Structure 1
Amino acid sequence: MNVQRTQKALQLSRFLYDHAKTILFVYVVLNNSRKAQRHVRARGLLTTFRELYIWLANRVIGLALRFPAARQKVETEMEKARIEIEGKLVPQGADVVRHLSLPPAGQGIEWILKEMDTMDGYIKSPNYKLGKLSGAVYHGGDDMEKIIVTAYQRYCVSNPLHPDVFPAVRKMEAEIVAMCLRMYNHPTGAGTMTSGGTESIIMSVKTHRDWARAVKGITEPEIVLPASAHAAFDKGAQYLGIKVHTIPVDPHTRKADMKRIKRAINSNTIMLVGSAVNFPDGNQDDIVALAELARKYKTGLHVDCCLGSFVMPFLEAAGLSNGENGKYKLEPFDFRVPGVTAISCDTHKYGFAPKGTSVIMYRDSALRQYQYYVNPSWTGGVYASPSLSGSRPGALIAGTWAVMQYMGHQGYLDSCKEIVTCARTIANDIAATIPELQILGSPPGPVVAFSSRSEDLNILEVGDIMSKRGWHLNALSQPAALHIACTRLTVNAVDTFLADLKDSVKEAKAAPSGKGTMVTLYGLGNSSAVGPEMVGRVATMFIDTLYKA
């Protein structure tokens, strides 16, 4: 009897074990099939096959590069790139003094200032006040510098991590957030300051992830965004383990296909993304349509106004929102649009605040709480911080508050008129007088992007020639294009810019060299399936070089 019972028990165990394996196998197949179906639905068959081709090509070429001859050829080219990058960034020569360890005794202020002058002379930097930069320096004027330096000096040792020690800084930060919320038409909302647009975006991604996990039970979060959205969203998603569906934009309108965005939304979607305006070409996404989808599928919607910052909210009052002959029309984008749950705004761009300041805003404080980090059981005591940083420079907050008080509503209104008029002058002149070029989309704000109308002209060749004339423009891809982010410094350089651009177009057409930084990198990136990987290696070398003393 005992033997029979034992045999039956073993048979039952085998039966249950076999069925458990089958159930597990079926679950894995169904789960992965569902993921594959969502992936293909979001990207489409062509994009999916292209991604598969690139993946296979990377593996094949990776195997090929194991052969000594192929590997040696690639490494030789990479070494040339490294030497060229270091030559541009790292000062060379026997007269260069390198400070690789602490001095035996402290130096005086006179020596320090003299050494700074010497370092400035090692590699000649462009004079940003000439206005030949695309964005980069958002200079509010010499008076503004004095305001910032004075505020910074007063609060140079302050740290908002200790609000009881620095109550004035706490007050200023709260008021900065409140002013920005009112500017974006939601004074009852909530927000925090951050170190810049990237942190604001990453904080929003983190907030929506944690909200979706707590409220909707989502453990495999996904984000849907146009290809024109800032790379910080991909960066945040990579840090936080979130899948991203990138939807291509129309090459002419620069708008994402709403049908494709809708198709990419599924039960794991935590957030949609729109920009007002985007960085690559300065165009505005259809925030109203995105908000309708966000409300329908109960997802978040982040509107990236990091670049639009203190320009977009003033376009309407400046009389620049209705467009010119149907162009440059401003569409609704702020918290007045139901469905918008978060907005990022860089105070250190067109707000003219010191670099390293931004604001992330939410529709309500309940959502903002998902951004916080709280550890109630740490041995060092209760630890809580509102954003990524613990200690933060209160001096930057003081500088931002001082600048916003100094500028006031009228100051930002006048600045908006000046900068956007400058951008539209450039766009209109290109459209009217340079037939070889075309404006990308209909940008309502401070950024203008332009590409070539035909293959007879390489727009990146134009960019390289403009660089020789002292201009620092941004090179774009998909399609190849250039953009200029106009600032108050650009206003006085408009005529020079247009004259140099026309001459550069003529030169590029007459005698194309096929060489230059923009042309080389773009060509490398499009030369094969692993081109982007090679560009990535060059970019990694660039970052490494930043820390080469």
Structure 2
Amino acid sequence: MSAVASSSKSSLKQIASLLLTLDGAKSALFYYVLLVQIIKAHRHLRARGTRMTMKELYTWVSRQIIHVFLKLPSMQKKVSEQMGQARLDIENKLVPKGPDVVRHLTLPNEGKSLEWLIKEMEIMDTEMPGSSIDAWKKGKLSGAVYHGGDELSSIIITAYSRYCVSNPLHPEVFPAVRKMEAEIVSMVLKMYCAPDSAAGTMTSGGTESIVMAVKTYRDWARAVKGITHPEMIIPSSAHAAFDKGAEYMGVKVHSIPVDSYTRRVDIKRVRRAINANTMLIVGSCINFPDGNQDDIQSLSVLAKKHNIGLHVDCCLGSFIVPFLDSTGLSKGDEKGRYKLEPFDFRLDGVTSISCDTHKYGFAPKGTSVIMYRTAELRRHQYYVNPTWSGGVYASPSLSGSRPGALIAGCWAVMQHIGSEGYKNSCAAIVKATRQIADAIHDDIPELYVLGNPPASVVAFGSKHPKVDALEVGDAMSKRGWHLNALNDPKSVHIACTKLTVPLVDQFIADLKDSVREAKLTPSGKGTMVAVYGLGSSSAVGPSMVGQLASAFIDALYKA
């Protein structure tokens, strides 16, 4: 009996010891998770600051409350009707309607002749009211079409025709295309003053170049620094492709405000946001929204000090900013405006740069270059699968098969234009941009220029209480101009191209008339006011605009 009791006591002690051990493990796990969350919260608070954190919290709470309110049957019906009408309006602007519209929804039984194809294309070019295949030639566009002239178009078509079936995935079959791609990368690296160790690849455009950069630094941070929860720091003015890449690659983003006057990222806030998980900081030269450049020199110092990547987005600056020095325009004007500061690989901390050849390089759409300071860093961009049943698979970027014809077109254009040609186009475009900026500064008191844009983009906001910049943008639309509306602050920009150069005086005159119209007879019904105004009107505004954007994409695929 005593032996049984002794055995029971021993078992109870073992159970108690096990429970204590389990409780200890649970407690340790709890405190570990709590510590991790505290560290994350501290880093988030340090990067955002108390004011921005509270603003984000307020916005989140407001959205939750409004979304609950919108679930009420009466509100659901009202929102559904309004969104339905908005979707219909979008479709009506994009999709041809009427009994005379012929739709090709299935394959024809027998193939059509070249004559039939050309005739059908001509019909489709004019199916939408006011549409025309060459409407862009009028030049009233912000960016969009970077046309180098009819001679260049002929060169691109000739190169495309020669290599129309080529595919860089098979370099042994198309050695000339491989050679041209390597030479394009080399030429762009030289433009950006890259060291001998530098390397790069071509991509399909600026977005892919940026997404590839995010992927590269994520994999580099994991392999070299052991970072498993990577973070990146971007200015609020950085291109949306960085957020897109971060979402694809599972990277946390800290978006840092830009100075309201200089339009540059707040360096102190960037410094505060850097932590042990930071893999990358970003700067732009120039940024898309307002055409200004960040303080790349200060960002370079930070990147080098903390041994993290610094990517400079020159997709829009492309073949403009590398040639500003040679034109003498990099020094700005006599009032100290429009000065270009160092931004390329001559700064030690710059580890990668993206440049779109299909913008001011006048190459065919679908070409861009991503550059790295070292070939070793570039290898983190590659995807390699040595065990695939189809054989060893390796690709430098997102795409597998790629259109070699676009590479050939890009190479041919760069060879045809040369440094002097790019220098001349840079000078003409930048002078036109500054003429517009000067007119806003000196002759249109209701408006102001955002920052000191050094290159090809100028954005304007309103400083008059009765003038809405978006109303001005809508008034410009009535005059045939296709400009870009911006948020934070409400403003409008034009990216000047060679098409803009002969129209500068007309743009300025139309802008003055549009300001007068916006001041005297604001309608509040234009596209810019309706869509971008909604985005900032309430906490739920961005969600509604998001639904409209999704409806727009849906309409693109409505046959």
Match of 1:418 in 2: 428
Q: Hey, what's the Cα distance between the residues in 1 that align with 2:15 and 2:103?
A: 76
User: Percent identity among equivalent residues?
Assistant: 64
The answer to whether the 8 A contact 2:428-2:501 is kept is: yes
For the residue of structure 2 that corresponds to 1:388, the secondary structure is: coil
Q: Hey, what's the Cα distance between the residues in 1 that align with 2:371 and 2:519?
A: 47
Q: Hey, what's the Cα distance between the residues in 2 that align with 1:507 and 1:269?
A: 49
Which of 60, 67, 77 is the equivalent residue of 2:72?
67
Which of 230, 241, 264 is the equivalent residue of 1:232?
241
Match of 1:166 in 2: 174
Q: Hey, what's the Cα distance between the residues in 1 that align with 2:244 and 2:31?
A: 34
For the residue of structure 1 that corresponds to 2:365, the secondary structure is: coil
The answer to whether the 8 A contact 1:274-1:287 is kept is: yes
Match of 2:112 in 1: 107
The answer to whether the 8 A contact 2:67-2:540 is kept is: no
For the residue of structure 1 that corresponds to 2:35, the secondary structure is: helix
The answer to whether the 8 A contact 1:160-1:169 is kept is: yes
The answer to whether the 8 A contact 1:328-1:444 is kept is: yes
TM-score under structure 2 length normalisation = 0.97
Matched, 1:143 2:148: no
For the residue of structure 2 that corresponds to 1:317, the secondary structure is: helix
Instruction: Report the residue type matching 1:147 in the other structure.
Output: I
Residue 320 of structure 1 deviates from its aligned partner by 0.5
Match of 2:312 in 1: 303
For the residue of structure 2 that corresponds to 1:377, the secondary structure is: coil
The answer to whether the 8 A contact 1:193-1:358 is kept is: yes
Match of 1:379 in 2: 389
Matched, 1:133 2:138: no
Structure 1: 5+ residue runs without aligned partners?
none
The answer to whether the 8 A contact 2:195-2:373 is kept is: no
For the residue of structure 1 that corresponds to 2:171, the secondary structure is: coil
Q: Hey, what's the Cα distance between the residues in 2 that align with 1:4 and 1:410?
A: 94
Which of 82, 90, 95 is the equivalent residue of 1:85?
90
197-206 or 450-459, which moves further after superposition?
450-459
Q: Hey, what's the Cα distance between the residues in 2 that align with 1:27 and 1:222?
A: 21
The answer to whether the 8 A contact 1:351-1:404 is kept is: yes
The answer to whether the 8 A contact 1:225-1:274 is kept is: yes
Q: Hey, what's the Cα distance between the residues in 2 that align with 1:456 and 1:62?
A: 32
For the residue of structure 1 that corresponds to 2:255, the secondary structure is: strand
For the residue of structure 1 that corresponds to 2:282, the secondary structure is: strand
Match of 2:39 in 1: 34
Q: Hey, what's the Cα distance between the residues in 2 that align with 1:405 and 1:513?
A: 50
Residue 455 of structure 1 deviates from its aligned partner by 2.1
Match of 1:546 in 2: 556
292-301 or 119-128, which moves further after superposition?
119-128
The answer to whether the 8 A contact 2:160-2:408 is kept is: yes
The answer to whether the 8 A contact 2:236-2:255 is kept is: yes
Match of 1:408 in 2: 418
Q: Hey, what's the Cα distance between the residues in 1 that align with 2:56 and 2:116?
A: 56
Structure 2: 5+ residue runs without aligned partners?
1-5
For the residue of structure 2 that corresponds to 1:482, the secondary structure is: strand
Q: Hey, what's the Cα distance between the residues in 2 that align with 1:190 and 1:41?
A: 35
Deviations 1:491-536 (A, max 9, x none): 0111111111111111111111111100011221122111100000
Q: Hey, what's the Cα distance between the residues in 2 that align with 1:122 and 1:44?
A: 53
Deviations 1:438-470 (A, max 9, x none): 111001000011111122101100100110110
The 5-angstrom pairing of residues 266-415 of structure 1 reads: 266-324=275-333, 325-415=335-425
Q: Hey, what's the Cα distance between the residues in 1 that align with 2:195 and 2:35?
A: 47
For the residue of structure 1 that corresponds to 2:312, the secondary structure is: strand
Q: What root-mean-square deviation, in Å, do the aligned CA atoms of Structure 1 and Structure 2 show?
A: 0.9
Q: Hey, what's the Cα distance between the residues in 2 that align with 1:282 and 1:242?
A: 26
Q: Hey, what's the Cα distance between the residues in 2 that align with 1:308 and 1:197?
A: 11
Aligned length: 549
Residue 12 of structure 1 deviates from its aligned partner by 1.6
Q: Hey, what's the Cα distance between the residues in 1 that align with 2:178 and 2:532?
A: 46
For the residue of structure 2 that corresponds to 1:244, the secondary structure is: strand
Q: Hey, what's the Cα distance between the residues in 1 that align with 2:195 and 2:204?
A: 22
1-10 or 357-366, which moves further after superposition?
1-10
Instruction: Report the residue type matching 1:212 in the other structure.
Output: A
Match of 1:520 in 2: 530
Matched, 1:209 2:218: yes
For the residue of structure 1 that corresponds to 2:326, the secondary structure is: coil
Match of 1:122 in 2: 127
109-118 or 244-253, which moves further after superposition?
244-253
Residue 5 of structure 1 deviates from its aligned partner by 3.3
The answer to whether the 8 A contact 2:195-2:345 is kept is: no
The answer to whether the 8 A contact 1:130-1:493 is kept is: no
Which of 253, 261, 264 is the equivalent residue of 2:262?
253
Matched, 1:8 2:17: no
Match of 2:3 in 1: none
Deviations 1:232-281 (A, max 9, x none): 00000011111111111112110121111101111111000000000000
Q: Hey, what's the Cα distance between the residues in 1 that align with 2:378 and 2:478?
A: 47
